[in-house]
């Protein structure tokens, strides 16, 4: 069974995940949001103290708060950036995204090296992980579903009792509704954990039953 560690980084409170196999010590970093040396050190210290070997870097989408640490992780651990190519333009405009939020241009560009698409199956720590395309918050937003571990890392598509905004560049409320319906229809056990890009964890059953936005999308199908 895989293990998972959550860090909350940067001024946006991004959940950065380290997922690893406790036997092989192989790890993946998902949405590295580190914006300064202290946050980089916290990540590095955990990796060193747990004797982990970083094998993958995955972004659920390419909004700047989720990619602040991409170049650092890529250079330090020698891994490619994996994400959906529909968000390539966001990585290319990382500096413009910083300006939009009044932030220093701490990163200029993040390029996707390995393309992830809806329907792909990848392996993290030896466990098969399903890639679900869920556009709406951004064109290339993805959910990573771990059937064996019963986790869904949902990025900024689904939060506990809420969803991601659709008014940023590339956002689309109609596509968001379609993605919410797709998510609700997944053959996922109710107890599966929903691990979002911001905020507290939830479960698949709780969100399908009580999330106003999912229920509204289902009503409007």
Q: In whole angstroms, how far apart are CA 19 and each of 16, 24, 125, 204? A: 10, 12, 8, 19
Kindly tell me if the per-residue pLDDT of 201 is higher than 80: yes
| Residues 34-89 pLDDT 10s | 999 999 999 999 999 999 999 999 999 999 999 999 999 999 999 999 999 999 99
Partners of 58 in the β-ladder: 30, 82
Burial environment of residue 48 by CB neighbours within 10 A (0 to 12, 13 to 18, 19 or more) = exposed
Q: What pLDDT was estimated at residue 106? A: 74
CATH superfamily to which 3-219 belongs: Ribonuclease Z/Hydroxyacylglutathione hydrolase-like (3.60.15.10)
Q: Are 19 and 34 in contact (CB under 8 A)?
A: no
| Residues 16-30 pLDDT 10s | 999 999 999 999 999
Kindly tell me if the per-residue pLDDT of 101 is higher than 90: no
Q: What pLDDT was estimated at residue 103? A: 86
pTM score: 0.97
Element (H, E) at 17: strand 14-20
């Amino acid at each position: 069974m895989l293990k998972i560690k959550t860090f909350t980084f940067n001024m946006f409170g991004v959940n950065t995940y380290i997922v690893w196999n406790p036997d092989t010590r192989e790890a993946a970093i998902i949405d590295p949001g580190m914006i300064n040396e202290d946050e980089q050190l916290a990540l590095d210290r955990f990796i060193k103290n747990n004797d982990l070997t970083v094998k993958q870097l995955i972004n659920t989408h390419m909004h700047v708060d989720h990619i602040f640490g991409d170049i650092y992780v890529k250079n330090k651990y020698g891994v490619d950036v994996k994400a959906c190519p529909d968000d390539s333009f966001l990585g290319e405009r990382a500096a413009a995204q910083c300006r939009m939020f009044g932030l220093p241009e701490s990163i200029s560009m993040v390029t996707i090296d390995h393309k992830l698409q809806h329907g792909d199956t990848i392996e993290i720590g030896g466990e098969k992980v399903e890639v679900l395309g869920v556009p709406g918050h951004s064109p290339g937003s993805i959910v990573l579903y771990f059937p064996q571990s019963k986790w869904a890392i949902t990025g900024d598509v689904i939060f506990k009792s809420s969803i991601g905004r659709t008014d940023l560049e590339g956002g689309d409320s109609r596509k968001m509704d379609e993605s919410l319906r797709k998510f609700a229809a997944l053959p996922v056990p109710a107890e599966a954990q929903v691990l979002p890009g911001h905020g507290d964890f939830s479960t698949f059953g709780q969100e399908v039953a009580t999330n106003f936005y999912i229920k509204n999308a289902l009503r409007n199908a």
